Structure formats: structure tokens, C-alpha cells
Structure 1
Amino acid sequence: MQEQVCLIGFDEPEISVLKQRISGRVIAHPSLPGFRVEDGLLYVDNEQGGWQSRVDRVIFHGIFEEDAELFVALALWGGPCFPGPLGMLACRDKHACLVRVLSQTRFPGRGRGYVPAGSVVNLKTEQVAKWGNWHCGENKARIQGEWCAEYSSTLEPFYPGEAVRVVLLGEDVLQIRLAGDDWLKSIHDPSADFMEVHADLADDTRALARYFDLPVIANDYIVGEDGTKYLLEVNHIPNVTRFPLIWERYVALVTDWCASA
């Protein structure tokens, strides 16, 4: 009997590619579907609405405001999920994830801080404030002097140097030089491209992937002008479509996972 696989968080044409490569019936939802766990079985909405269907495997990819409830349900279900719900749940809150990451990475940097919403700080050196749970350069600001935190925020020194992303896909590790016209560097800038992998950053990324038990992870680092390295953040659901090479390796990874017993 063929398994029924549920894709959550993918857009077209990624859904079409995965449906062609995965054997069995595939239900796909670009956004969070309705779901329930009952008697050890997972049910999700059908694509066209109506009754919910039981699914045997879930492939999740995306960041949604209310996705933590789904991760709890997936963990209680205990069925095959890519990536694992415990790792996604541990990383979902960016501030809590950062605390966990800094306890494990070889490159924690120095002088991190935290300010609750409404607090006023007077910073002698330039720092970066980060708030919220979104990525892609959002909810960040370079600050110095007096600053009032509208939202609870972490603080980190502004590290000059080269911004890089180290991406782990199963056993493969790739490194990308981030780019941009201002201090906010991104994989989405047209000039962002692959570069030689730093062995120590690859080892650090593998260690953090093992810690969170995540098969796909992307870590953002700064490589300082003197060669010193600093971990900025962990992306537990990293972009896999910006570069065709990463997308092909991701598709192969999840296709092989679906074919496993």
C-alpha cells in the first residue's frame, strides 16, 4: 500500500516538482492546513477542502506565525516528519534558539545583550538589535547611543567582515558569500554566490545540526578581517530555492527520505 505524503509550506512550481518525484499520493498545502491527531493518527485537510485525510509522512518547509501548534501535534503524533518537529520547535523562537546555539557553537562571539520592550539603553559602541521571529533581514537595526526598544530585542556587537552562510543538506555542506548594497547581506542579492567552504564552519554547522537533530540547516556567520569568526544565527528552515544546486540536492534528499522504510 502506497503512503500518503503531505507537503506543507511549498509554493508552485516546487509542489509540482516534488509531486513528480515522490511516489504515492501527495497532498500539498502552501500554507498551514487544518490538522488533528487522533488515536495515534495524523489527519490534514484535503487540497480542495472537505474531509480531512490521514497522512503517513509530512515534509514541512516554511515559517508561519502559528506553526508551533503544528510542531506540537507532529511531535505527539510521532510519525515520519522532515525535518523533525522537536528540532523545529526548539528553533522556532529566535531568541530562545540563540541562547541554545550560543551554548553549543565554537564561535559565540562576545558581548551579547537583551532589552525588554520599552527599555532604554545608551550604547557606547555600535550594535545590532534583533527582534521578532522572521528572517530575510527583517526586524534588525544598527544602533548606537540612546535607543528605546519597541520590542524585546537581543543585542550583539556589529562585527565588520564578510557575511557567509553555511548550508547543510544531509551529508553535503555548501557555503555562500552573502551580498548586498548595505550592511544587511542576503542570499537574495544577485551577486551572492558559492565559495570555498571553511572547514571549521562546516564542522560547527554539522555539530549544531546534530544538536537540533535537523537534516537541513543554514548558519549565518561573519568572518572578520582578522579571520575571527562569529555565529550570527541559525536558520532551521532555510531557503532552498534561491540556487538551483541547493534545490536539486534538497529534492534528492527528501525523495530518498520518502523512499526509506
Structure 2
Amino acid sequence: MQEHVCLIGFDEPEITVLKQQISGRVTAHPSLPDYRVEDGQLYVDNEQGGWQSHVDRVIFHGIFEEDQELFVALALWGGPCFPNPLGMLACRDKQACLVRALSQTRYPGRGRGYVPAGSVVNLQSKQVAKWGNWHCGENKARIQGEWRAEFSSTLEPFYPGDAVRVVLLGEEVLQIRLAGDDWLKSIHDPTADFMEVDVELADDTRALARYFDLPVIANDYIVGDDGQKYLLEVNHIPNVTRFPLIWERYAALVTDWCQT
């Protein structure tokens, strides 16, 4: 009997590609569908809405404001889900995820701080404040001197150097040199490109992936001008469409997973 696979969070044309590669019935929802877990079974809206159908497997990709409730439901369901909903829960709050990751990484750096909303600090050196749960360079500011935190924020020293992303896709590791015209670096800059994999950063990324029990993860690091390395953040749902090579490998990974 063929399984019913539910894709959540993918856009076109990725949905079309995965539907072509995954055998059996495939339902796709670009945004969060309605769902329920009942008597150990997961039910999700059909693509046209309305009546819900029993689902055998879930492939989730995306970041949504209310996705933590879905992760709780998927964890209680206990069925096959890519990635592991417990890992996604552990990472969904970006600040808590960072604290967990810093306790495990070989490259935590020093001098991190935290400022509750409404607090004022007076910083003697350049630092980076980060708040909220969004990635892609949002909710960040480089600060120095007196600064008032509108939102509860983590603080980290501003590390001069090269920003890189180390991407783990199952057993494979790829590394990207992030780029940008100012201090904010991103994979979305047109000059961002693949580079030789740093073995130490690859090992660190594998270790964090094991810790969070996630088959796909992308860690952002700074390789400092002094040669030191610093973990900046963990992306538990990293972009997999910016580079065709990464999408190709990711699509193959989830397609193979559906056959296990």
C-alpha cells in the first residue's frame, strides 16, 4: 500500500519537483494547514481544504509564526517526520537555540551578553545585537556606545573576518562564503558562492546536528582575521533553493528518506 506524504512549507516549483520524485499520494501545503492528531493518527487538510485525510509521512520546510504548535503535534504523533520535530522545537526559539548550541560547539567565543527589552547599555566596543526568531539578516544591529533595546536581545562581539555557512545534508557537507556590501553577509548576495570545506567547521556542524538530531542544518561562522573561529547561529531550516546544487542534493535526500 502506497503512503500518503504531506509536504508543508514548500513553494512552487519545488512542490512540483518533489511530487514527481516521491511515489504514492503527495499532498502539499505552502503554508501551515489545519491538522489534528487523534488516536495516534495524523490528519491534515486536503489541498483544496475542507475534509482532512490521514497522513503517513510529513516533510516540513519553512519558518512560520505559529509552527511550534505543529511541532508539538508532530512529536506527539510520533510518525515519520523530516526533520525531527523535537529538533525543530529545540531550535525554533533562536535565542534558546543559540544558548544550547554554544554549550556544544568548539567555537563559542567569549563576551556574549543579553539585554532585556527596555534596558539601556553603554558598550565600549562594537557589538551585534540580535532579537526575534527570523533569520536572513533580519532583526540585527551593529551597535556601540549607548543603546536602548526595543526587544530582548542577545549581544555578541563584532568579529572582523570572513562569514561562512556550513551546510549539512545528510552525510554531505558543503561550505558557502557569505557576501554583502556592508557588515551584514548573506547567501542571497549574488557573489556568495561555494568554497573549500573547512574540516574543523564541518566536524563542528556534524556534532551540532547530532546534538539537535537534525539531518539538515546550516551553521553560520566567522573565521576571524586572527584565524579564530566563532559560531554565530544555527539555521535549523536553512534555505535550500538559493543554490541549484543544494536543492538537488536536498530533494534527493528527502526522496530517499520517503523510501526507507
Q: Same fold (TM over 0.5)?
A: yes
Q: Paired residue for 2:62?
A: 62
**Could you tell me which amino acid in structure 2 is paired with residue 20 of structure 1?**
Q
Q: Paired residue for 2:192?
A: 192
Q: Does 1:162 align with 2:173?
A: no
Q: Deviations over 1:33-82 (max 9, x none)?
A: 00000000000111001100110000000000000000000000000000
Q: Which 5+ residue runs of structure 1 have no aligned equivalent?
A: none
Structure 1 residue matching 2:53: 3-state secondary structure: strand
Q: Distance in 1 between matches of 2:63 and 2:47?
A: 20
Q: Deviations over 1:179-232 (max 9, x none)?
A: 000100000000000000000000000000000000000000000112100000
Q: Does 1:223 align with 2:216?
A: no
Alignment of 1:106-145 (within 5 A): 106-145=106-145
Q: TM-score of the superposition, structure 2-length normalised?
A: 1.00
Q: Deviations over 1:3-25 (max 9, x none)?
A: 00000000000000000000000
Q: Distance in 1 between matches of 2:183 and 2:7?
A: 35
Q: Percent of counterpart pairs with the same letter?
A: 89
Q: Paired residue for 2:236?
A: 236
**Could you tell me which amino acid in structure 2 is paired with residue 122 of structure 1?**
N
Q: Distance in 2 between matches of 1:122 and 1:226?
A: 26
Structure 2 residue matching 1:100: 3-state secondary structure: helix
Q: Which 5+ residue runs of structure 2 have no aligned equivalent?
A: none
**Could you tell me which amino acid in structure 2 is paired with residue 41 of structure 1?**
Q
Q: Paired residue for 1:72?
A: 72
Structure 2 residue matching 1:104: 3-state secondary structure: coil
Q: Paired residue for 2:52?
A: 52
Q: Distance in 1 between matches of 2:143 and 2:93?
A: 23
Q: Distance in 2 between matches of 1:83 and 1:158?
A: 32
Q: Paired residue for 1:96?
A: 96
Q: Paired residue for 2:258?
A: 258
Moved over 2 A (4+): none
**Could you tell me which amino acid in structure 1 is paired with residue 148 of structure 2?**
C
Q: TM-score of the superposition, structure 1-length normalised?
A: 0.99
Residue correspondences, number: 260
